[in-house]
Amino acid sequence: MADILDIAKRRGFFWQSSLIHGGIAGFYDYAHLGTAMKRKWENLWREFFIGLDENFYEIEPSVVMPENVFKASGHLKHFVDPVVKCKKCGTPERADHIMESFLGESFEGLTAEELTKLIKKHNVKCPKCKGSLEKAGVFNMLFPLNVGAGKSVAKAYLTGETAQGVYVNFKLEFDALRRKLPMGIAVIGKAFRNEISPRNAIIRMREFNQAELQIFFDPDTITEHPRFKEIQNYKLLIRPVKNKKSGKVNEILCKDVVSKMKLPKFYVYYMAKAQQFYLDILQIPKKKFRFRELSEEERAFYNKYHFDVEIDLDTLGGFREVAGIHYRTDHDLKGHQEVSGEKMVVNLDGKNILCHVLELSFGVDRNIYALMDISFREEKNRTVLSFPGPVTPIDVGIFPLVNKDRLPEKALEIKNILRGSGLSIFYDDSGSIGRRYRRMDEAGTGLCITIDHQTLKDKTVTVRDRDTMKQIRVKIDKLEKAIKDLIGNDIKFEKAGKPIKPKTSKAS
């Protein structure tokens, strides 16, 4: 992790917020490369998931919401973490996290009382000073706010998840979208949780980014999906509850997940789509991906089915959650109906329906970190971030070989042509060509274009591949198509131009 945090800071991906004033734990800023990468990830997510149905749309709700919203959602009562304090140094820690680090297994979902017994049984001490621990208690993670002034002050909270902004807008959106089901409402936005012990950089923060799709549907239709046949023979990578000790991942056909694991087709269809997003769009290695089934004790009481998407991260010592698929039943709309007094029942073709919700929830920051973890490698003479083409912050680096002989002018001309085609370009004329390549390797840039004296003779340029360091010559008039084909992984590198050997090892 230290290596990733170093390159993240040095190259401009992310760093702790307000560093010049000492910062606050759990708050990070995205720098220029991180912001570009995050935007690309979000746009891929939008295109893929909102594109799954013609009745799926995106909204942007407020992050400040009145107290009654969180009474209705259950956050005021249930949005708590188990906390334990050291008797000696007074440091608060998540009780389940202390147990996890001590015994090497997950204790998520256990009550404060259960965790207290385990701490006593195993004689667990404070990880900082080795002092004795107090009894575990609970801590509500919502950030409270006072809105207004004087007698008009109202109590509000920063939202702990983007989902509540969807639920409070359900009826308005249902009417505006001409009363059709299923209806999907997506939000990509901020959420806030006053974590007891934020850790692991952007993996667990107090202000973070979520991409969520809430799918409202008639519960009587959950056993079917109109496009299930398209994925029925697709294999899902699942670690079921029964494999908790062994950790074995089973590869199961979607139709067998329905028949043998007794999951409804509507739910399994979206499991397949989530897996395809990771394996096909983000190009996560198959061996690094799995669905983990949560036990009844682990999942929220309102989730009838709950599978987490997990990715194996070397820097965190194993699989970590990056997304989840939750069948939330009618818990959310029923809660808002009871507290607000506003009927959430809708009428469709003469049938009164209190919709159920299937939630696809993604931690944007965790996905960015996961891509950095998987892509990071150190070689003898360089450090590389081998990002997949679609999420690379910079598509192409463009360099004049030397700053004379009309090469800079030609390089700038080519830069403007490619930028006009929608590609993100970084122009660099500083230092040796080898050093410029190395800087782009650390930024994750997949392709570098060098304009040299041969360019002026035959209108070709050198294109270098980040991962293999191989080079080809490409005609300028065919350059845009070649670059886009390579970024989209639609063509092998050697087929995009005429292969050449690098002149020197430093320029490779």
Write out pLDDT tens, residues 97-140. Answer: 888 888 877 787 788 888 899 998 999 988 888 889 999 888 88
CA–CA gap between residue 13 and residue 154 (Å, rounded): 38
Of 393, 394, 422, the residue nearest 481 (C-alpha): 422
CA–CA gap between residue 245 and residue 180 (Å, rounded): 44
The CA-CA-CA angle for residues 480, 486, 489, to 5°, reads: 140
Rounded (10°) CA dihedral 152, 155, 158, 164: -100
Q: Is 198 left (phi over 0), alpha (psi -120 to 50) or beta?
A: beta
| Arithmetic mean of pLDDT, 75-80 | 86
Domain boundary among the residues 313, 344, 373 is at: 373
| Arithmetic mean of pLDDT, 404-420 | 94
Per DSSP, what are the bridge partners of residue 500? 471
Q: Is the pTM of this model over 0.85?
A: yes
Shared domain check, 302 and 217: yes
pLDDT of residue 505: 47
Shared domain check, 164 and 230: yes
Shared domain check, 399 and 346: no
| DSSP 8-state code for residue 449 | E
H/E run at residue 274: helix 265-276
Tokens of 333: 């709309």
In which domain, by residue range, is 476 found?
A: 394-500
Q: Residue 242: which CATH number?
A: 3.30.930.10
CA–CA gap between residue 300 and residue 305 (Å, rounded): 10
Q: Residue 422: which CATH number?
A: 3.40.50.800
How many residues belong to the chain?
508
Residue 37 lies in a domain: yes
Shared domain check, 461 and 322: no
| Arithmetic mean of pLDDT, 235-261 | 96
Shared domain check, 202 and 281: yes
Report the Cα–Cα distance between both ends of the chain, in Å, rounded: 28
Cβ 307 vs Cβ 292: under 8 Å: yes
CA–CA gap between residue 463 and residue 437 (Å, rounded): 11
Cβ 83 vs Cβ 138: under 8 Å: yes
Shared domain check, 188 and 242: yes
| Arithmetic mean of pLDDT, 5-10 | 96
Shared domain check, 404 and 321: no
Shared domain check, 299 and 229: yes
Average pLDDT of the chain? 94
Q: Which residue has the tokens 């194993």?
A: 318
Shared domain check, 216 and 170: yes
Residue 119 lies in a domain: no
- CA-CA distances (angstroms) from residue 158 to 31, 60, 161, 306? 24, 15, 9, 25
pLDDT of residue 418: 94
3-state secondary structure of 57: strand
CA–CA gap between residue 222 and residue 266 (Å, rounded): 5
Portion of the chain with pLDDT greater than 70, in percent: 99
Shared domain check, 176 and 35: yes
Find all residues with CB under 8 Å of 408, minimum gap 6, and list them. Answer: 400, 429
Residue 383 lies in a domain: no
How many domains does one find in the chain? 2
For residue range 297-344, list pLDDT tens digits in order: 888 878 899 999 999 999 999 999 999 999 999 999 999 999 999 999
CA–CA gap between residue 13 and residue 9 (Å, rounded): 6
CA–CA gap between residue 225 and residue 487 (Å, rounded): 33
Most confident option among 76-85, 93-102, 235-244: 235-244
Portion of the chain with pLDDT greater than 90, in percent: 80
Residue 507 lies in a domain: no
Shared domain check, 43 and 74: yes
